[in-house]
Amino acid sequence: MFEIINLLHVVFGSLALLGGVTAMATAKGSLWHVRGGQLFALMMGLVVITTFVQMFHEFLPLAIVMCLTVIYLVPSAILSVNHAVPGFKAANVLLMTLLGLLFAFATVQFVRINLISDSLFVGPAFLAALFGTLLVQDWRMLGSPPSHPNAWLRRHLTRMILAFTFAIMALVRIGLNFGLSLEMSVILPLIAAAIVIAVVYRKYPVSEPADQG
């Protein structure tokens, strides 16, 4: 049974990466972009389910954190392009609760690991910083929803990029062995994601251009 689950997990994960690459490589709003994003979201949901089933065979704490992060990121990304739907605020409050738990867990892990270790481990600090930043963004969004369409687009793209990053993180750390330490398998993908997100923010400004007249 677990061999079948593992095979399905690999198939779903591969299709998710294919969908993610398609979405990122095509024009925003195009049919290919939408279909790629839908494939990515659906397959990541199935990856999360198969991962939880795998936990009955082998418990991997980092995999649980990754799954819970994806459970936050993908719905948050979808809601960002559907922010006018009823129940938007309630759904985001639930997602923020999960995000707050992830932030607390990463913070506690950073303190706990560095108290019992002779070396400094900053991987959990990177995760805590990420979760804390997203939490602040969500809090501000609920208090004062942005009016500029690019703000919602930024929010959508940021969360999809991060979801794709965690898929890559799982591939690097669990799926394929590239010889990276646990620290580097967390830090390097997050740094790459930060660079891509910075490009997105530059490409989609939320301020109106100054009047040149």
Residue ranges covered by each domain of the chain: 1-59, 65-203
pLDDT tens per residue across span 144-164: 988 898 999 999 999 999 999
Q: Which residues contact 56 (CB under 8 A, 6 or more apart)?
A: none
- pLDDT over 70 for what percent of the chain? 92
- C-beta separation of 40 from 25 below 8 A: no
Q: How far apart are CA 162 and CA 212, in angstroms?
A: 37
Residue 96 pLDDT > 90: yes
Give 14's pLDDT tier (boundaries 50, 70, 90). confident
Determine the pLDDT at residue 180.
Answer: 66
Instruction: Tell me if residue 121 falls in helix, strand or coil.
Output: coil
Average pLDDT, the chain: 86
Look up the pTM and report it.
Answer: 0.86
pLDDT tens per residue across span 173-208: 665 556 667 778 888 889 999 999 999 999 999 875
Phi/psi for 97 (5° steps) reads -65, -45
Average pLDDT of the segment spanning 127-151: 92
Residue 211 pLDDT > 60: no
- C-beta separation of 116 from 77 below 8 A: no
**Cα 9 from chain centroid?**
18
Residue 4 pLDDT > 90: no
Determine the pLDDT at residue 175.
Answer: 56
Helix axes 149-170, 123-143, angle to 10 degrees: 160
Q: How far apart are CA 63 and CA 69, in angstroms?
A: 10
Of 9 and 178, more confident:
9
Of 68 and 117, more confident:
68
Give 69's pLDDT tier (boundaries 50, 70, 90). very high
Residue 16 pLDDT > 50: yes
